[in-house]
Amino acid sequence: MTSGDHMSGDHTADREISRLRPTRRPASLADDCVRSLTEAIEEGAFQRGARLPSEAELAVELRVSRATLREALRILAARQLIVRRHGLGTFVAEEPIEKDLHRNFGITAMTRTAGYRPGTRGQHVAEVPADDETARGLRIEPGTSVVVLERVRLADKRPVVYSVEAIPRRLAGPHDMRLLDDEHQSLYWLLHRQCGVTIYRGQAELVPVRASAGLASLLEIRRGAPLMCIKQTDFDEGGRAVVYSVEYHVADWVRFVVERVGPGSPVDA
């Protein structure tokens, strides 16, 4: 290859690399608002979990239009620095709880361990025939009687999870759910105390979803907001499926972590 050919190849590579570089645009007023509000949050002017001033007040403070401010708030919400709660206002996002996926423990224990006060709202219990999905989760025939517990889970009175848990009717009935109260909210605790059933392991599937209108109303978030859906089957010591649950976690509330091992050698990299 001649030196001219080599230079031509370099120019071609440079052109290809330049296509991958993001095009920088001048900072807009919305960008300035994002930077100002981010600095205020990081410096503690707005505490974690605190409600922000109204849009009108913020627009005056930042000397921008309401439209510009709304674009800035949209960016901050996408970065999970703020949370918009339907009918309540805009809040600074709290530090998310970390949930180790290697360990299987319930929402109540996770909330309490993170230093929040667990609670529930809108609890509903019903005995129904198992639909196809629940039957697959519990390894039973469709139509088998199951007890379904629906509720919104709270952390310091903030709705953070909507959960639906199903157990076979042979283990417990709707009346047994009366033992679940502000002090004892864990279905695992109830199964252990009332039925002598201890959960030994769980098999879970995690899927990111968008909040429907119903979920948005229950969790006080905007419609279409990101949620993490966890579908899980819990097994007892004998390997029997005893709980099938579907949980919708508010995205800014929890951070899921897992320890990954390997590869054992560079060959497997």
What are the pLDDT digits (tens) for 108-151? Answer: 877 877 777 888 998 899 999 999 999 999 999 999 999 999 99
Neighbouring residues of 107: CB distance < 8 A, sequence distance ≥ 6: 118, 153, 161, 163, 186, 247
Residue 41 maps to which CATH number? 1.10.10.10
What is d(CA 190, CA 249) in angstroms, rounded to the nearest whole number? 22
Task: With beta carbons less than 8 A apart as the criterion, state whether 156 and 145 touch.
Answer: no
User: Do 83 and 101 belong together in one domain?
Assistant: no
- How many domains is the chain partitioned into structurally? 2
Residue 265 lies in a domain: no
Which of 33-37's residues contact partners 24+ apart within 8 Å by CB, and which partners? Answer: 33/62, 33/64, 33/68, 33/69, 33/71, 33/72, 34/72, 34/75, 34/76, 36/62, 37/62, 37/72, 37/76, 37/81, 37/82
Q: Is the predicted pLDDT of residue 258 greater than 80, yes or no? A: no
Domain boundary among 73, 92, 111: 92
Query: pLDDT by residue (tens digit) across 75-113?
Result: 888 777 888 777 778 888 776 666 666 677 778 877 877
Q: Is the peptide bond between 263 and the residue preceding it cis, with omega within 30 degrees of 0?
A: yes
Domain extent at residue 231: 97-257
Neighbours of 13 (CB within 10 A): 10
User: Do 159 and 34 belong together in one domain?
Assistant: no
Residue 108 lies in a domain: yes
Residue 267 lies in a domain: no
Residue 262 lies in a domain: no
Task: Name the region of 49 (left: φ>0; alpha: ψ -120 to 50; beta: rest).
Answer: left
User: Do 226 and 156 belong together in one domain?
Assistant: yes
Residue 171 maps to which CATH number? 3.40.1410.10
What is d(CA 21, CA 80) in angstroms, rounded to the nearest whole number? 25
Residue 171 lies in a domain: yes
User: Do 231 and 202 belong together in one domain?
Assistant: yes
Residue 266 lies in a domain: no
Domain boundary among 92, 126, 150: 92
User: Do 133 and 242 belong together in one domain?
Assistant: yes
For residue 189, the Cα-to-chain-centroid distance in whole angstroms is: 23
Q: Is the predicted pLDDT of residue 24 greater than 50, yes or no? A: no
Domain boundary among 77, 92, 107: 92
What is d(CA 110, CA 185) in angstroms, rounded to the nearest whole number? 12
- Six-digit token string for 176: 């047994």
Query: pLDDT by residue (tens digit) across 139-184?
Result: 999 999 999 999 999 988 888 899 999 999 998 888 888 778 767 7
Neighbouring residues of 73: CB distance < 8 A, sequence distance ≥ 6: 55, 82, 84, 90
Task: With beta carbons less than 8 A apart as the criterion, state whether 130 and 145 touch.
Answer: yes
